Amino acid sequence: MKKIAIVGGGVAGLSAAIYALRSGAEVTLFEQFGLGGLVATIDKIENFPSYSFVEGWKLASDMSAQAKALGLKTVRQRVVSLQKGQNEFHVVTDKGEYEFPAVVVATGTSHNKLGIEGEFVGHGVSYCATCDGAFFRNLPVAVVGGGRVAVSEASYLSEICGKVYVITSQEELTGDQKAVETLLAHSNVEPLYNTTVSQIMGDGEVAAIEVFGNGKKTRLDVAALFVATGAVPVTDFINVEGVAKSRGYLVVDGRCETSVKGLFAAGDVTDGSLKQIVTACSDGAKAGSFAAAYSATVK
């Protein structure tokens, strides 16, 4: 009997589920929150093939519905430990323990912190523009970060906030150049290059930030600071010996199998991937198919 576990219900995990289910496997997906992962929080997606434009929640809910219709079993629990036995893996959650011959890890990444957020998290400091941007309608805000995610966050905010400072320690904004050009064309967007955020000020709520750039400190009166300074892969729960990593990301082969037999990985948690929806889905398709096939060989 083909039987696999998937840890993480973002687009990588859901794609793995769809492919494994269609191959006849019994699939149990462990997800700590709702299905859809990061995609469910993205405002506009303009680079997923077939759609010139699709809202994140729509893509996430269509994909979840597709997997559920195929018979996906979801367990809404956080996996706290993944261990290897003789021929099986033990998936330990905050509520129980389960055994599977093969496992797909699709846990994505978690946000980097600036280290100066302190008590302002949830009081003007946010890691998700789509989730919190509307609280700052018509107000001045800042985004710190200079990559693809920062550009996407700033772009979303530029449509609802009065002013958007984009603060980056780099000399330019990087990532999708078309998206950078579109962002900078907004008259309420002001990029601050070679600049860092040194302090957050306010009495219980963010009122201003202090930035340091070009040899001087400047105070910017903003109601919110959106932090988009990169992310780290979520692998801390994996207690399996011999799992190869590169910069913390899981190293996988062309079948999305890790260095441990029967342990597969897909999406943003893996090394070398483009960290986009289309690549997460592609990884998931491979991981789900090969994990299901592997599980049938385990005695």
Ligand X SMILES: Cc1cc2nc3c(=O)[nH]c(=O)nc-3n(C[C@H](O)[C@H](O)[C@H](O)COP(=O)(O)OP(=O)(O)OC[C@H]3O[C@@H](n4cnc5c(N)ncnc54)[C@H](O)[C@@H]3O)c2cc1C
Q: Which residues bind ligand X (CB under 6 A)?
A: 7-13, 30-33, 37-39, 42, 45, 47-48, 78-79, 106-108, 149, 152-153, 234, 237, 267-268, 275-278, 280
17 to 57, 161, 209, 271: CA distances (angstroms): 19, 39, 44, 21
Complex with ligand X: residue 208 or 225, whichever CB lies closer: 225
Whole-number minimum distance, CB 103 to ligand X, in Å?
A: 12
- Minimum distance, C-beta of residue 215 to ligand X, in the bound complex (Å): 32
| The token pair that represents 10 in the structure block | 């973002």
Q: How far is the CB of 218 from ligand X (least distance, A)?
A: 26
Q: Which is nearer to ligand X, 9 or 191 (CB)?
A: 9
Least separation in angstroms between CB 11 and ligand X: 5
Buried b (16+ CB within 10 A) or exposed e, 105-115: bbbbbeeeebe
Nearer to ligand X, 207 or 245 (CB): 245
Name the minimum Å distance from CB 71 to ligand X.
20
- 65, 222 contact by CB (below 8 A): no
- Residue entry with tokens 């055994």: 99
Give 79 or 206: the residue with its C-beta nearer to ligand X. Answer: 79
Residue closer to ligand X (CB basis): 112 or 194? 112
Q: How far is the CB of 254 from ligand X (least distance, A)?
A: 18
| Residue (182 or 276) nearer to ligand X, CB | 276
